Copies of this chain bind each other. A is one copy, B any other.
Amino acid sequence: MDIRTFSSLIGVSTATVSRAFSGRGVVGAATKEHVLSEARRLNFSPNVLAQRLSMQSSGVLGLYYSFGDEAIFDYYNMELAQEVAKAAASSGFGLHLELAPRRTPVPTDPAAQLAALAAGKAIDGVIVVSDGHESARHLLAQLKGTPAVILTGELHADLDCLAQVVIDFEPGVRAAIDHLVACGHRNIGFVRGLGDSAKLAALQKALAAHGLKPADVAMRTGQKTFADGQRAFAELRAAGVTAALCATDILALGAIHGASVAGVKLPREFSIIGIDDLAIAEHSVPTLSSIGVPRAILAREAIAALTTALRKPSEDETAPTVQPASTYFIPRESSGPLSD
């Protein structure tokens, strides 16, 4: 049933019905109640598609993963996506995931697809999860005026967006290194993928505070797979390292696996610490010490920046804000003092 039919059935104007439903504008209290109860009785509900056209707003935000090699939708990003979806929902927005290329009518990559939706006003804003790779810049260029917020571990320089919500690895890394050093470790390695320069920088700073340098064993691959972690463990171990910080929990779980295969006992002979604090970190054998990332906070701040801008599209030329979010260390079984 359309609003004109409905409004004439119950003897009011379309404007009144619209006002009663939206809460915008003024309606008499009695009239409002009447409209809503009749709507329930006659089973009328406003057509969202028409509302969106009329209001020039879709109520939907896009979520996009910008990574070096390809869009990686791993556990970390899944958990993050979940938080973003929750935060969006509690601000009244839906979320549109752009993961895979579409093949209709012609194949288009996710970035182009998202840009098309933005150009067509199908999404009001975009949240870009980035690992610092330049592809985020390409997406933003295609996005033109659509408001965008970056959610990243690596600060992008001169990026044309509303805000960058940046994960600050220093507090967590600092605490982790303090812990390792307190446990007697002096030869600490780092397992990284390509592009984890913020994590590396945080590590170097934390080590320097103790007068140490990281063992120079870093993964060369851009991937951060389980197998890479396993391989890295072997290399670090061979190099005489006794504790490793891994750029992700998946790498760390791989390293744990490597230790298990090599018969190395954790943490008595070796300590492993991950970054991300995935749900599985507390479920591995041994449980994984990890640096936690406040995903819910990141998500809320990103959504807040976006929705604020959407509500008042004024102040076009404000400089993009940078919001750091602190990480924290969670000691579990995979790290501790040596005792051989």
Contact = CB atoms under 8 A, between A and B. Distances in A.
Interface in A51-71: 51-53, 56, 58, 60
Nearest to A260: B285
Contacts of A116: 45
Number of copies: 2
Nearest to A52: B49
Interface residues of A, number: 58
Interface stretch (A5-13, A84-92, A133-141): A84-92
Contact of A121 (B48, B226, B285): B48
Interface in A145-188: none
Contacts of A101: 89-90
Contacts of A102: 89-90, 92
A82 B89 contact: no
Nearest to A108: B89
A113 to B, nearest CB: 8
B89 A250 contact: no
Interface stretch (A251-259, A310-318, A319-327): A251-259
A51 B95 contact: no
A60 B104 CA distance: 14
Contact of A100 (B58, B89, B286): B89
Most chain B CB atoms below 10 A, which of A45, A74, A94: A94
A103 B90 contact: yes
Contact of A49 (B45, B53, B226): B53
A46 to B, nearest CB: 6
Contact of A90 (B47, B74, B98, B100): B100
Q: Which among A50, A282, A284 has the greatest number of chain B C-beta atoms within 10 A? A: A284
Contact of A285 (B53, B103, B285): B285
